[in-house]
Structure 1
Amino acid sequence: MITASDLDRTLMYSNRALEEFGIPENIKLKPVEFHKGTWIGYMTEAAFSMLKVVSSHSLFIPVTTRTTEQFNRFVIFEKEIPLTYAITANGAHILYKGEHLEDWSEHLIFQLKNGCAPEEELLSALKRSGITLDGDRKQAENLFFYYILNCLPTPSELREIRELTAQYGWKMSLQGRKLYFIPTAISKGKALEFICNREGMKAMAGAGDSVLDWDFLKNCTYRIVPSHGELLKVMGPADITLTNQLGVTAGEEILEHFLNALSLKANFS
């Protein structure tokens, strides 16, 4: 069976996230993300041990909005926890044994050509509408873009932006100070569904903290959300299981739920 999880602020935590949520006493951290000669991401040692068990008893699939290059900073997936699949760039890429899965890439290219307007057309429409976004625009592999905002739009402005982007076959999501614009064809849920069909397996358990994660969580039998997650703001408690813990220890709790779903917790030590 399949287990799937977002990484950032779900299982893995940056230095900034650790500072924001704090680190409980007696918690030992395992460095998991390495970039430019420095460790910049962590999970608890207990969570790492549980993830190894989950990965050995299920088809574990990381699901992330990160580009493939950014995802590869998680060095634990090189040797310690080898992966068969990973979903990157919000579903734009499926990695199979570390390489882009061409079947999915070809399918997605067709969907992008026929299901959404070009990025330049959307940007022109936003400009014509008089909407001003105060921030730096970043590109993600020429697939979608996002703004790192200095000033957040008002709720009414966000509704206007969301309605406008939908007219052009795109979707919008505000995650903290990052405002994402993503073609509707690029979908974590569709990518996970593709893998499920390819392998003839069901998605048993999933976890994620952001609104973008609901796209794949709705395909999972068990859906676990860290209690600090932005997804809590838009989903009712009947649809998800919330952790009791915040921050990095929420990652431990999520993996305990995964072990329960796989009926392995009693055997874990």
Structure 2
Amino acid sequence: MTIIASDLDRTLIYSPTALALGMPDAAAPRLLCVEVYEGRPLSFLTETAAALLADLAGRAHFVPVTTRTREQYGRVRLPGPPPRYAICANGGHLLVDGEADAGWRARVGRELAAGSAPLAEVRAHLERAADPAWLRKLRTAEDLFAYLVVERAAVPEEWLKELGEWAEDRGWSVSAQGRKVYAVPRPLTKSAAVAEVVRRVGEPAADGAAAGSSPDLAPAPVLAAGDSLLDTDLLLAADRAWRPGHGELAARGWTAPHVTALDERGVAAGEEILRQMAGCLP
């Protein structure tokens, strides 16, 4: 069965400021709220997208793949049955039926220790380098990576470039998404966690031999979608992928032979991604 591995924010679900409706109010699509935070509606998709997603979840393994922490992901109520697998913290946590897989987290910890500078060093640099004039918050997520909440228009592009160069020398990468600037260890990837899901989905059952199934099952095909630099590895690892007409990847004109670069922006892009994914399923 096909695996659909998709980023959430600004790919499938959208905050009010990211909807980009671009049409008269009377022509706007009906929206479904899928996240409430502190009593306020926070994330939406169109009702058409909700129906498409519920249908896809019944025909494929739908795997949310997000940079959100487990707590932040837990606020999202997507249409359809709860996903068997979900990936949080940019691949740092693999949830199985809603519970974090301790073995996966331990494996991630070993890879980070071997391949990137410590989180404490990166956070200390961010504290020194960020300008209080535009910095609003500095946070760490799941003891895995750090991010800044900023006044994006006031952040100098040269500062972002210098931060990226500093981070690269230490095995980290930088991604600017809306009002957040992420610093993430390079070994911490969405694609690695999706590969683990592919491995598990493709494994025969314990009684597979008695049931007549082959021990050499072909890996399930993967359809993927994402909008940011942190999604690049996920899209490249997929059999077929999509990116919306907004976001970091669109701004850079990034694509690949098997990646469809959509013209649609905002919540309309999320709907179109799901529509095209549905067309790829048997």
The answer for the alignment partner of 1:169 in structure 2 is 171
* 3-state SS, counterpart of residue 95 of structure 2: strand
Task: Give the SS at the match of 1:145.
Answer: strand
Would you say 1:152 and 2:155 are equivalent positions? yes
- For 2:7 and 2:87, the matched residues in 1 are separated by 9
- Deviation string, structure 1 residues 31-54 (Cα, Å, up to 9, x no partner): 211223332211111111111111
Question: What CA RMSD, in Å, does the superposition of the two structures yield over aligned residues?
Answer: 2.1
Could you list the per-position Cα deviations for residues 126-168 of structure 1 after superposition, in whole angstroms to 9, with x for gaps in the alignment? 67xx84444131221222111122321334x433322221222
- Residue pair 2:123, 2:146 contacting (<8 A) in 1 also: no
Q: Which aligned pairs between 1:195-210 and structure 2 lie closer than 5 A?
A: 195-200=197-202, 201-210=219-228
- When structure 1 is superposed on structure 2, of 234-243 and 110-119 the one drifting more is 234-243
Report Cα offsets for 1:214-264 as digits up to 9, x if no partner: 12111111111111222123354444212232211211110111111114x
CA spacing shift, 1:99–1:238, aligned 2, 3 Å: closer
Secondary structure at 1:13 match in 2? coil
Letter in 2 for 1:185: P
Aligned to 1:233: 251
What's the offset of the Cα at 1:124?
4.7
2-structure distance, mates of 1:230, 1:159: 14
Q: 1:102 to 1:146 in 2, by over 3 A?
A: same
Q: What is the CA-CA distance between 1:22 and the residue it aligns to?
A: 4.2
3-state secondary structure, aligned to 2:237: coil
Residue among 229, 242, 258 paired with 2:277: 258
Map of 2:105 onto structure 1: 105
- How far apart, in 1, do the equivalents of 2:174 and 2:54 lie? 34
1:39 lines up with 2:41 in the alignment: yes
Q: Does 1:3 align with 2:12?
A: no
Q: Which residue of 2 aligns with 1:116?
A: 116
TM-score, normalised by the number of residues in structure 1: 0.87
Kept after mapping to 2: 8 A contact 1:67/1:89: yes
Residue 267 of structure 2 is matched in structure 1 by 248
- Pick closer, same or farther for the CA change 1:35–1:132 going to 2, 3 Å: closer
Q: Which residue of 2 aligns with 1:89?
A: 89
Check whether the contact 1:225–1:243 (CA below 8 A) recurs between aligned residues. yes
8 Å CA contact 2:177–2:228 kept in 1: the answer is yes
CA–CA distance in 1 between the matches of 2:85 and 2:281?
A: 19
Distance 1:105-1:253 versus aligned 2 partners, 3 A rule: same
SS at match of 2:78: helix
Distance 1:122 1:250 in 2: 34
Q: 1:188: how far off?
A: 0.8
| Aligned amino acid, residue 68 of structure 1 | R
Deviation, structure 1 residue 57: 0.9
For residues 15 and 52 of structure 2, what CA distance do their matches in structure 1 show? 20
For structure 1, list consecutive stretches of 5 or more residues without a partner in the other structure.
Answer: 264-269
Q: 2:238 & 2:253 partners in 1: Cα distance? A: 15
Percent identity over paired residues: 38
| Pairwise CA distance, 1:176 | 2.8
Report the 3-state secondary structure (helix = DSSP H, G, I; strand = E; otherwise coil) of the residue aligned with 1:11: coil
Q: Deviations over 1:165-194 (max 9, x none)?
A: 122222211223321111122111111112
Range moving further from structure 2, 96-105 or 170-179: 170-179
Matching of residue 138 in structure 1 with residue 168 in structure 2: no
1:214 corresponds to = 232
Change (3 A) 1:217 1:172: same
Question: Cα distance, 1:125 vs. partner?
Answer: 5.3
* Aligned residue number for residue 267 of structure 1: none
The alignment status of 1:27 with 2:29, answered yes or no, reads yes
Q: Is the 8 A contact 1:4 1:203 kept in 2?
A: no
Cα offset, 1:203, TM superposition = 4.0
Q: Structure 1 residues 11, 256: closer, same or farther in 2, change over 3 A?
A: same
